[in-house]
Amino acid sequence: MSAESPTPDEGRTTWSLDDSGQVATILVDRAAKLNAFTPQMLLDLERVVAEVEASEVRLAVVRTGGEKVFCVGADITLFSQLSSVQMWRDWIGVGHRVFNALEALRCPTIAVVDGLAFGGGLELALACDLRIMVDGARLALPETGLGTVPGWGGAGRLPRLVGAARAKEMIFARHQIDAARAFDWGLVNAVAPREQLEETVQRWITDVCTSAPVANALAKQLITAALEGASPHLIEGLAGGLSLATEDLREGVSAFKDKREPEFTGR
């Protein structure tokens, strides 16, 4: 599940399974450079996401290397050397393709934002379903201060979470958002002190993984479709009908009648 070992400056993107085989951890690791993305790291993330999608995991947790910095986004020294065509095709285009694939994973995803998340780092977290943030971290989209704009979905995903006015504040004025404001705005789902971060993450992992995996996957697609304008009446009817054919629904009903915890298999 891991690529050949690059140097610390090159970075790596890998994934691993927990002992239960239910939870995948996606690790974006270039700690020596604040986890700034290189083109190869984007391609590695694309490969990793495809492998996770092909697995039977119930949840994917996105983490980054080092401490105090989640990810500062794209490596400025690399993208500033590109031509306009290369920027459009090989940097922004690939980034959108990869982050869209992450967003579209069948299983739910959690980003563990354990430090600063700027630019593409925040966009990486935005491509996940849920975000858990350490108290003391900050979020920002500072691209306009460099003379460019968010390039990996920030201008689309951020307004859906916090509204257009707040998204414009973060982009136009480059205001950094602390954990309390991020939670108040609905930008993150939970905030924890660093000493309680792993406990909080594990609690969310347990809560997600004890739900029926097929139902979670269906619900994720329902929410996405509804946000894109599909009729909830229509798509919920179809998904509810599909759930009737699953072993998980029969197990859930049986467990409810027996007053016990269900043991879902994802079938």
Give the residue numbers marked as catalytic. 123, 143
How far apart CA 124 and CA 117 sit, in angstroms, is: 9
Tell the residue number behind the tokens 């995803």, with chain if given.
109
How far apart CA 74 and CA 76 sit, in angstroms, is: 6
The counts of H helices and E strands in the chain are 12, 10
Scored b (16 or more CB within 10 A) or e, 65-75 reads bbeebbbbbbb
Residue length of the chain = 267
How far apart CA 65 and CA 28 sit, in angstroms, is: 6
Strands 68-71 and 109-113: unpaired
Put residue 12 in one of left, alpha, beta given phi > 0 → left and psi -120 to 50 → alpha: beta
